Structure 1
Amino acid sequence: MSQAPEEETRTVRPYAVTGGRVKSASSNLPLEALVEVVPNAGDINRLPPEKRAIMQHASRSYVSVIELSALLHLPIGVVRIIVADLADQNFVRVHSTTAVGARTGQAPTLSLSVLESVLNGISAL
């Protein structure tokens, strides 16, 4: 039994969009990471359709990686790779709630005194 043409397109398309990559150096972005367009990012008309769509959505306001996945109807892994590529090309800036050190396996950069201050502030509420 063969697949319907739409199903084949959905199966092949993400592979084609990422050039066959399943990971990039910085593609392990958190789902809630916010994406914004860098001012004067350059000519987006030369970008592939998926990258242009991300640029258009992120130019209106901050948009999360998971929202982009839903808006573009693409798997989250594909969107992470595309957003990482756009960030590497200085088209977008990614704001993450996760400390960079926590993602790379290094010790977090926050000191104990900063954490204690935050805890005291929350307790005071």
Structure 2
Amino acid sequence: MSGQDEYQDSALRPYVLTGGRARPSRNTIGVDTLLVMADPGPPLPVSASRQERALLRMCARLLSLVEAAAHLELPVSIVTILASDLVDSGHLTARSGIPEATRPDQELLQEVLDGLRRLL
């Protein structure tokens, strides 16, 4: 592929996709946030972008934000803004990762690992 045939994106596109915003409306959506279509979700407005429609279709099944960004071939920061808008409008539900309280204790895991090593 020659240099002229390669796809080049401009800074204008993300700016247009997010309505000129650089930050999402909520700070609770991270790369590990799981997104799923709200059941039943309201219909998307006619003004919804192609990317918002694609994101909503993808989220018919549970999907992480970072996976959605990869499928859409968009920066995670842009998809975070789009997902945040869809959560705000009631089209998507965001689920955070494993709550801190349910994660195993680091010391306990180390003790288990040390015990397994002693068995070998």
TM-score, structure 1 length as denominator? 0.69
- 1:77 — aligned with what? 77
Larger Rg: 2
**Matched residue type, 1:53:** A
Answer whether contact 1:45 1:52 (CA < 8 A) is retained: no
> Closer, same or farther in 2 for the Cα pair 1:91/1:71, shift >3 Å?
same
**Matched residue type, 2:34:** L
- 1:91 — aligned with what? 91
> What is the percentage of aligned positions where both structures have the same residue?
22
Answering whether residue 55 of structure 2 is matched by residue 54 of structure 1, we say yes
- 1:105 — aligned with what? none
Q: Which runs of 5+ in 2 are unaligned?
A: 113-120
CA distance in 2, matches of 1:63, 1:41: 17
CA RMSD of aligned residues (A): 2.9
**19-28 or 68-77, which deviates more:** 19-28
CA distance in 1, matches of 2:69, 2:25: 19
CA distance in 1, matches of 2:25, 2:13: 22
Instruction: Report the 3-state secondary structure (helix = DSSP H, G, I; strand = E; otherwise coil) of the residue aligned with 1:44.
Output: coil
Answer whether contact 2:33 2:65 (CA < 8 A) is retained: yes
Residues 62-93 of structure 1, C-alpha deviation per residue, up to 9 Å, x if partnerless? 00000011000111100000000000001000
Count of residue correspondences: 104
CA distance in 2, matches of 1:94, 1:82: 12
Answer whether contact 1:29 1:80 (CA < 8 A) is retained: yes
Please list, as runs of the form range in 1=range in 2, the aligned pairs for 1:13-32 lying within 5 A after superposition.
13-27=13-27, 29-32=29-32
How big is the shift at 1:98? 6.5
CA distance in 1, matches of 2:22, 2:71: 20
Q: Which runs of 5+ in 1 are unaligned?
A: 100-107
How big is the shift at 1:10? 3.7
> Closer, same or farther in 2 for the Cα pair 1:24/1:85, shift >3 Å?
same
TM-score, structure 2 length as denominator? 0.72
| Structure number with higher helix proportion | 1
